[in-house]
Every structure is written in C-alpha cells, then in structure tokens.
Structure 1
Amino acid sequence: MPEAARAALPALFISDLHLCEERPATTTAFLDFLDGPAREAASLLILGDLFEYLAGDDDLESPFNRELCAALKALAGHGTRVFFMRGNRDLLAGEGFAEAAGLHLLPDPSIVAFGDGEDAPRLLLSHGDALCTDDLAYQAYRRQVNDPTWQAGFLAQPLAARKAFIESLRQQSESAKKTKATEIMDVNAAAVEALLRAHRGPTLVHGHTHRPARHVHAVDGRECVRWVLADWHDTATWLRFDGRTLSAEGGGAA
C-alpha cells in the first residue's frame, strides 16, 4: 500500500464544481470560497472535476483558467495546503497545472493522513468514477482515456483540435445520460466494499455522482462510512474534517 500523503487540520473537501465561463455564479462562489472558508482551513482537498473540462496543461493559458490558477496559488501562499485529484473532466491536468496553481497532485485513490504518527486520522479519497462499474460503456471509455499511450497521442494534437473533440464528447455524454438508468450511473456497492477492503476500511470520501449523502457499509464485519461530496450549483458546498468528525457545510449542503 503506498505511503499516505500528509495534510493538516482542519481540512475541507470539494469536488464537481465544473467551472467554466458559462457558469459565472459558480465561479464567483468558488473565488469567494477561496477568499473565505478555505483561508480558515489548514488543507483544501479538491477531488476532481474542478473544471468543466481541461484539454491539457497548455489549456491554462486562457484568461479564465489563469484566474482560477492564480486564486488557488494565492490560497496556497496564504498558508493553506492545496491538494488536487484528477476527475474525469480534468484527467489531463498535470505538473504544469500543479505548478501554476501551487498545489499537490494526488493519485486516485489515495490515503491521506492528517498529522504525523501512527495514530493520525486517515481518510481514503477517490474521485469516484472508477466505482461506477455498472456503467460498462463508461468504464470502457475510462480505460481508454486513462491509458498513458492514448493520452500522449491526444496531447500531441493541437489544442484547438483537442478542445473540439472534448466538446463533442461532452455533448454525446449528455445525450447518453438521458437514456441511462440512474442506478447505472451510481457507484456499485461491491466496488465500494472492495476498495474499502483493499485499504483496510478507513472512511471513504468521493465525488462524481452528484448525490451528496453519508452511507454505511459493512465490510468484513467492520462498519465503514462513505461520504459523497455535492456538486456545485451557484453556491459553495464542502465537507469539513476536524480530525474526528466530518460535516457537510455551505449553501448547498445536504
């Protein structure tokens, strides 16, 4: 099992903001969040889909993306440690993004320890899309776009071509969602329990499904808790961890 990343408390968790120029209210909520609650936290952990889409680190040259990176870097400069886990919408974010935004990249999944020592509280983090195993078409697509060879070939294309391709995929995805059963797009219980079992059952926090809730799973006789993060609709919503308790906060908290 890989060594846990180290973060500090209190910690805030967010995901699925899908920031883009077409949603100015959500962008404003994010910038206000960075200037407010995030500055009171020791760590901010972003579990994917910060962007509606990101076509690669060279996509950060747009004024909109530069503003977002500058705001994150300012938060890091203030003293909040910022961590980022790629989602399905920003899976091409790389070291260039990490440097521009002043943050630390996390693999999916990751164990994060909050403090030093063997007794430091730990959480298991994931974006969550890998757990939606009932959606066979999506999982086939996910395997393709996460393949390093495919990514290298895709990133070798001009930025304009990449953006056009991603836009066409977004439209196809929205159309496909209308015909899929909602249960297929949720996580699979067996996949969740397998992940918890592999990492010895710490509390799991993930996003992706846009179904904020607290779930309890019985894994090998242990009670394991799974928290699902909310997506953002014009208002900031986050999960707060003080080392003992997780609590949903913000304007859109369930």
Structure 2
Amino acid sequence: MSCTLFIADLHLCTEEPAITAGFLAFLRREAFHADALYILGDLFEAWIGDDDPQPLHAEIALALNALKQRGIPSYFIHGNRDFLLGKRFAAACGMTLLPQETVLELYGKRILIMHGDTLCTDDAGYQQFRRRVHQRWLQTLFLALPLSLRQRIAARMRSGSKQANSSKDVAIMDVNSAAVSESMSRHQVQYLIHGHTHRPAVHQLEVNGQPAERMVLGAWHTEGSMIRVSPDETALIAFPF
C-alpha cells in the first residue's frame, strides 16, 4: 500500500538503547516499505554539532542512508533539541533538510508539517529563548567552540530547561489554538501534522469555515509513534519497540 510516514520526538541518546533499537527496527519494518519518511524534529536528545564523533550518530546515519539506497527519500525538520543538526550530518544520512514550516501535497491532501514548538505561544519564556538561540551569529559562535566546552554548555542548558519546565503550568506548554488556526489559514491547509508537545492525539477543528484536522505525534518513551498518510486515510499509530 502506498503511504508516507511521519515521526518525531525520539530523543535518541546513548542512555536509551531500547529507543535506538526500536527506531532501527521501525526503519526495517515500516519505513523500508513507505514512499517517504518525514522526521519532524527532536530525533536526538541533544545536538552540539555535526563534528560530534558519537558512535550513535554514525549508526543512525548508516541506517537512514539505507533508505536512500532503496530509493526512499527521508526529510528532516529541526526540533528544539537538535536545531543545530547541519548539512554535513544530513548528507551522511542521505536526508533532506526542510524549512520549519513545510507544506506537502500528498495523495490529494494539502498538509502542513512542523516540529510544533512555534505553536506554543503561551510559553513566552521559551519563545524568547528560542528566538535567541536561533540567531545565526550565536550558532556560528557556539559551533566554533571546542567540543568539550560545547558538551558542558549543552548539559547545563538541558538541566536548566528541566528545572524551568517543572515549575511551569502544564497548559502553557501545549499549543495555542489561535496560533494553530493562524498557521493553517496562512498556508491554506486543512491538515496539520506536528510533534513537540508529547501529547499524541487527533484534533478536529475548523479553519476558514472548513473542517480541519491537527494530528500530534507522540514521543518515543516506552513505545513508538507514527502517522501514516495514504490515499485512503490518515492514521496515528502507536507500536511496541
């Protein structure tokens, strides 16, 4: 059956080998038979530069490149954890980098895809932080630092992020409904697929007076999560590693 797959929020790291094994199995079982694979951010728990020599990175690049060898394209939208993933690693994966908001025409459906963090506009502190770290000059400066120093900075930032999130109202870390409507209206779509919030669900809504659908991918904590789009349906699917 012809289909396209979407995943997000795997947060791959050496400390969670079961998730890595689950992803590699997913590539063999599901992605190898798809028309294309879209990864909507936070593939990795952290990314401090394409020059980081972690064996995990090479393992994932090899597995994703196998898709390309089978003629199956893969695409990547940056997340809030791996926004520094660059062209060098993407090339090693045989993966195409996409803008943070991308519209696809799939099987007669017009679909907006994104990571999803830009929709969480009620979290003013995070949005301010995001604008700061996405400044090109700051990213260039960070990537020029020695790898060991980047590792220490990243560890401190992750710790600070966990502390900040623990004190936030859970509601402000979800998407803002007006931001959702604005994005879908601006791109003239009736379908939106994103991750980031770790709240897998299919939401029915109305955009420009027409029925619309927002599909949210789940994080890969104890099971996998994917959205399968085919000529017949769009489905949010959870599956064991």
Both proteins in one fold, TM over 0.5: yes
Runs of 4+ that moved beyond 6 A: none
One-letter amino acid of the structure 1 residue matched with residue 119 of structure 2: L
Give the deviation of 1:220 after TM superposition: 2.6
**Closer, same or farther in 2 for the Cα pair 1:216/1:250, shift >3 Å?**
closer
Secondary structure of the residue that 1:204 maps to in structure 2?
A: strand
Identify the match of residue 113 of structure 1 among 82, 100, 105: 105
Partner of 2:69: 77
Identify the match of residue 158 of structure 2 among 170, 177, 198: 170
CA distance in 1 between partners of 2:87 and 2:7 (Å): 20
One-letter amino acid of the structure 1 residue matched with residue 38 of structure 2: L
One-letter amino acid of the structure 2 residue matched with residue 123 of structure 1: I
1:67 has 2:59 as partner: yes
Identify the match of residue 197 of structure 2 among 200, 209, 221: 209
Secondary structure of the residue that 2:220 maps to in structure 1?
A: coil
Identify the match of residue 33 of structure 1 among 20, 26, 29: 26
1:55 has 2:48 as partner: yes
CA distance in 1 between partners of 2:238 and 2:72 (Å): 19
CA distance in 2 between partners of 1:122 and 1:106 (Å): 16
1:91 has 2:83 as partner: yes
CA distance in 2 between partners of 1:244 and 1:148 (Å): 42
**Could you give the per-residue CA deviations for residues 123-176 of structure 1, whole angstroms, max 9, x where no partner exists?**
100100000000011000000111111111111111211121111111111111
One-letter amino acid of the structure 2 residue matched with residue 30 of structure 1: F
Partner of 1:248: 236
Question: What are the ranges of 5 or more consecutive residues in structure 1 without an aligned counterpart?
Answer: 1-8
Partner of 1:43: 36
Give the deviation of 1:53 after TM superposition: 0.6
Supply the RMSD in Å over aligned alpha carbons.
Answer: 1.5
1:193-204 equivalent positions in 2, closer than 5 A: 193-204=181-192
Give the deviation of 1:228 after TM superposition: 0.4
CA distance in 1 between partners of 2:90 and 2:116 (Å): 21
Give the deviation of 1:188 after TM superposition: 0.5
CA distance in 2 between partners of 1:39 and 1:250 (Å): 18
One-letter amino acid of the structure 1 residue matched with residue 89 of structure 2: F
Partner of 2:17: 24
One-letter amino acid of the structure 2 residue matched with residue 228 of structure 1: V
Partner of 1:104: 96
One-letter amino acid of the structure 2 residue matched with residue 86 of structure 1: H
One-letter amino acid of the structure 2 residue matched with residue 63 of structure 1: P
CA distance in 2 between partners of 1:98 and 1:202 (Å): 30
Question: What are the ranges of 5 or more consecutive residues in structure 2 without an aligned counterpart?
Answer: none
Partner of 1:139: 127
Q: Is the 8 A contact 1:14 1:45 kept in 2?
A: yes
CA distance in 1 between partners of 2:225 and 2:68 (Å): 20
CA distance in 2 between partners of 1:42 and 1:191 (Å): 30
**Closer, same or farther in 2 for the Cα pair 1:17/1:77, shift >3 Å?**
same
TM-score (norm 1): 0.91
Q: Is the 8 A contact 1:201 1:222 kept in 2?
A: no
Give the deviation of 1:237 after TM superposition: 1.7
